[in-house]
Amino acid sequence: MTGFVERSWATPDGLRLSGRDYAGEGGEAHLPVICLHGLTRNARDFEDVAPAFAATGRRVLALDVRGRGGSGWDPDPMNYVLPVYARDVIGWARALGVARAAFVGTSMGGLIMLALAVAAPELMASAVLNDIGPKIAPEGLARIAGYAGGSAAVADWSEAAAYARRTNGAAFPDYGESDWQAFARRLFREQGGRLSLDYDPAIAVPMKTPPPQPAPDPWALFDALAKDRPLLLVRGALSDLLAPATRDEMQARAPHMRVAEIADVGHAPMLTEPEAARAMHTFLGEVD
């Protein structure tokens, strides 16, 4: 399995962020890939996907978005918003010498990509949206809001796996105990013999706070993302976040967008599912 180097750098507002840098095997024969995770997740979500990309001669960069994983926690929770995340990605790419890349974004990571389509369109050569679109289904949003920012009192990895199953079981009905054990090690960190969720609980504060100004029209951001750019949508067939009607509207507005529907999976596919892996490797193999 391809290894990685942990990279860190300081943002202009003084926060130290972290990410994983996987070197392309045999050199960089293709554009690098930048992977962006979901709201309460971190770069470990791509620990199986990134080596598969790297094996095809692609450098892969998986960021811990501020407040998650190895990245610092922001003292101002109102910085946990998409425009700030997008600025972080731009700064991260520049710090690592990446002028143009293919992007893969899961859930919140896809929303960051929508923001980047306006903030730095030249950076994004192609885009894979993983179970996310301009319109979020209210039932999925309510489910995520129900646990994001909360605490999880677990005594050991067995209880952590039970928490992972409890919060994500509907999305992965075919998972067994070993799958949930692996899932738990992406969600939790161990420090001083204690387990805790690997993110700042304050990431949920902006979700409960009225924004100071109206947000940009998400459909306009999607149109900017899709314009003159190869696009793949991966959707879990059981998703409660990306409704079929939203998928269809996205397809109508971007007829060139490819769609991969992943059976028996909800929000969000891990991208290791055979259908998802095939779709992404075929897509990336054709865009550069």
Place of tokens 């960051």: 112
Q: Residue 123 pLDDT more than 80?
A: yes
223-271 pLDDT tens trace: 999 999 999 999 999 999 999 999 999 999 999 999 999 999 999 999 9
Return the bridge partners of 191, or none. Answer: 194
What would the two tokens of residue 122 be? 């030249």
Domain ranges of the chain: 5-138+210-287
* Separation of alpha carbons 23 and 33, rounded Å: 11
Task: Give the homologous superfamily in CATH for domain 5-138+210-287.
Answer: Alpha/Beta hydrolase fold, catalytic domain (3.40.50.1820)
Looking at the chain, how many residues does it have? Answer: 288
What would the two tokens of residue 32 be? 């690098």
Q: Does an H or E element contain 40, and which? A: none
The whole-number pLDDT of residue 1 equals: 47
Nearest CA to 19 out of 63, 79, 66, 72 is that of: 63
176-221 pLDDT tens trace: 999 999 999 999 999 888 999 999 999 999 998 877 778 899 999 9
Neighbour-count burial of 99, counting CB atoms closer than 10 A to its CB (0-12 exposed, 13-18 middle, 19+ buried): exposed
Percentage above 70 pLDDT, the chain: 99
Crossing angle of helices 108-119 and 218-226, in 10° steps, is: 70
Return the bridge partners of 62, or none. Answer: 20, 35
Confidence class for position 2, pLDDT limits 50, 70, 90: low
131-168 pLDDT tens trace: 999 999 999 999 998 889 888 889 999 999 999 999 99
* Separation of alpha carbons 63 and 68, rounded Å: 9
